[in-house]
């Protein structure tokens, strides 16, 4: 396993525009991208803090993962994403160690990253995402 840093923190929000206003006006961060990920039924907004990003997630479908999360838990931290080198190998290692994988194989996430989620039941309660920027590595 080769984790280099926290790539991003994913935060579920009810309203993307209102949340962007808070992050910009109160925290003084700058939203540099808004992207819809149809696959995950979300609209995302990104902010950079050094090497780490904040990813705001607004649901586009109440039946999608963020829609369900918001209904159950309300707004808040949804997942934490680690930047790894060699995501396929990292997933194989996780599998060997008995970690429950949500994604057996990496898929495409926002910003063209390869991503895969680990089940919070086997990570002490945190939904974890592994991601790799294959354009960089």
Question: What is the residue whose two structure tokens read 């525009």?
Answer: 17
Cβ-based neighbour number of residue 48 at 10 Å: 14
Report the largest interatomic distance among the alpha carbons of the chain, rounded to a whole angstrom: 45
CA dihedral 97, 101, 105, 110 (to 10 degrees): -130
Of 20, 31, 81, 128, the one binding Zn ion (CB under 5 A) is 81
User: Which is closer to Zn ion, CB of 10 or CB of 65?
Assistant: 10
42 Cβ neighbours under 8 A, 6+ residues apart: 36, 57, 58, 59, 60, 64, 65, 66
Work out how close the CB of 114 gets to Zn ion at its nearest, in angstroms, rounded to a whole number. Answer: 12
Work out how close the CB of 110 gets to Zn ion at its nearest, in angstroms, rounded to a whole number. Answer: 7
Work out how close the CB of 72 gets to Zn ion at its nearest, in angstroms, rounded to a whole number. Answer: 18
User: Which is closer to Zn ion, CB of 23 or CB of 25?
Assistant: 23
User: Which is closer to Zn ion, CB of 129 or CB of 132?
Assistant: 129
Work out how close the CB of 12 gets to Zn ion at its nearest, in angstroms, rounded to a whole number. Answer: 11
The CA–CA distances, whole Å, from 55 to 1, 2, 64, 88 equal 24, 22, 17, 23
Q: Write the interaction track for Zn ion spanning residues 10-49; mark x where CB under 5 A is met and - where it is not.
A: x---------------------------------------
Residues within the interface to Zn ion (CB under 5 A): 10, 81, 129
């Amino acid at each position: 396993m080769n984790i280099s840093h926290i790539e991003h923190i994913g935060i579920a929000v009810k309203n993307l525009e209102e949340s962007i206003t808070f992050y910009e006006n109160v925290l003084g961060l700058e939203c540099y991208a808004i992207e819809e990920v149809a696959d995950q039924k979300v609209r995302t907004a990104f902010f950079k803090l050094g090497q780490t990003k904040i990813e705001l997630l607004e649901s586009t479908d109440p039946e999608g993962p963020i829609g369900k999360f918001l209904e159950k838990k309300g707004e808040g931290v949804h997942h934490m994403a680690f930047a790894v080198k060699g995501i396929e190998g990292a997933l194989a290692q996780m599998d060997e160690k008995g970690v429950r994988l949500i994604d057996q194989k990496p898929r495409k996430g926002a910003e063209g990253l390869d991503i895969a989620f680990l089940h919070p039941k086997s990570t002490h309660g945190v939904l974890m995402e592994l991601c790799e920027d294959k354009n960089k590595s």
